[in-house]
């Protein structure tokens, strides 16, 4: 006599409704992190403008107040980088990726990692320095206009970087064999959160506005800052590959290795944020350049020659 199959109770209508409610709630979770990303970007812009406004009063007290506003703006961009990393990962883990979520994420990145750092480096750096110049005549006036231009180029290059990323994600490149392939291990060009994160980390490391330094030093630092903004703008629209780390911690064994590293880095950031954040972002920005240089002079290049 055949064994009787075990009886499996069907979920009741109430349980089914609860499951559907939980499922719908999961779709809101990634969007909540994206909304937090936008909120941090808005806060960073307002804090940078407030610091720039306070600096107009002059004096030591105003500088100290402006310092706090600029540091808060830099911290907000740092938090936005974390929210931006979490919203996509949570959407993939819960399988709640939506088209509107993808588009909202790109708009949020333009605001938080394009407009906010462009305004912040202008207010904290070269804008405040050349505004302090007497009368803004001659060379100082030209440098002031150049500062406007550099902030604009950072914004437009970041927007182009995001547009290219969206196109590559929705239209994978076709190989010679006729199969589509998406390189999930690398980004093409410096990601805009990393570019914004480096500028924010520098300001968090030294939040004192450049206009408070001695005139010659302030002009030198402002020129170097504009050069850095130009380099970051070029890196964003370049074809240099940067690691995406999307596969980090995917396997069970790798998760056991990655989790202690994440915990250690998190504690170091909490204790020594000014130094650790600047070191982490600087290494990430440089590693793409170093890998490109190594590829140019590596074995493959020698073999081609």
Domain assignment present for residue 257? The answer is no
With 0-12 / 13-18 / 19 or more C-beta atoms within 10 angstroms meaning exposed / middle / buried, residue 67 is: buried
> For residue 97, what is the domain's CATH number?
1.20.120
A 10 A CB-CB count for 101 gives: 18
Domain assignment present for residue 87? The answer is yes
Indicate the DSSP class of residue 189.
S
**Distance, CA of 305 to CA of 298 (rounded, Å):** 11
Domain interval for residue 77: 24-172+183-247
Domain assignment present for residue 291? The answer is no
pLDDT at position 62: 83
Domain assignment present for residue 153? The answer is yes
Q: Which residues contact 145 (CB under 8 A, 6 or more apart)?
A: none
Flag whether pLDDT at 148 surpasses 70: yes
Domain assignment present for residue 1? The answer is no
What sections of 171-298 are H helices per DSSP? Answer: 192-205, 215-237, 252-271, 273-296
Domain assignment present for residue 193? The answer is yes
Tens digits of residue pLDDT in 224-233: 999 999 999 9
Indicate the DSSP class of residue 5.
P
Assess contact for 114 and 154: CB atoms under 8 A: yes
Domain assignment present for residue 224? The answer is yes
Flag whether pLDDT at 178 surpasses 80: no
Domain assignment present for residue 278? The answer is no
Please tell me the chain's helix, strand, coil percentages from 3-state DSSP, rounded to the nearest 5.
75, 5, 20
Averaged pLDDT for residues 52-76 = 84
Overall number of domains in the chain: 1
């Amino acid at each position: 006599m055949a064994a009787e199959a075990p009886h499996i109770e069907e979920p009741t209508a109430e349980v089914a409704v609860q499951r559907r409610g939980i499922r719908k709630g999961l779709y809101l979770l990634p969007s909540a992190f994206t909304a937090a990303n936008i909120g941090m970007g808005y806060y960073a812009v307002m804090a940078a403008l407030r610091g720039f406004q306070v600096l107009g009063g002059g004096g030591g007290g105003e500088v100290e107040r402006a310092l706090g506003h600029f540091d808060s703006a830099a911290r907000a961009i740092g938090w936005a980088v974390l929210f931006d990393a979490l919203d996509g990962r949570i959407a993939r883990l819960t399988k709640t990726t939506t088209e509107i979520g993808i588009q909202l994420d790109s708009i949020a990145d333009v605001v938080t990692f394009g407009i906010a750092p462009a305004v912040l480096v202008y207010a904290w750096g070269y804008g405040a320095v050349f505004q302090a110049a007497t009368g803004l005549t001659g060379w100082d006036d030209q440098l002031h206009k150049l500062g406007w231009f550099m902030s604009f180029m950072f914004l437009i290059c970041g927007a182009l970087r995001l547009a290219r990323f969206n196109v590559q994600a929705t239209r994978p490149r076709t190989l010679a064999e006729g199969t589509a392939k998406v390189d999930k291990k690398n980004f093409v060009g410096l990601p805009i959160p990393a570019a914004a994160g480096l500028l924010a980390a520098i300001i968090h490391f030294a939040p004192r506005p450049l206009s408070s330094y001695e005139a010659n030093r302030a002009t030198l630092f402002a020129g170097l800052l504009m050069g850095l903004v130009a380099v970051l703008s070029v890196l964003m629209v370049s074809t240099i590959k940067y690691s995406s780390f999307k596969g980090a911690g995917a396997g069970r064994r790798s998760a056991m290795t990655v989790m202690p590293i994440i915990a250690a880095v998190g504690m170091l950031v909490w204790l020594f944020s000014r130094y650790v954040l600047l070191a982490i972002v600087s290494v990430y920005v440089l590693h793409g350049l170093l890998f490109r240089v190594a590829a140019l002079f590596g074995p493959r290049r020698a073999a081609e020659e």
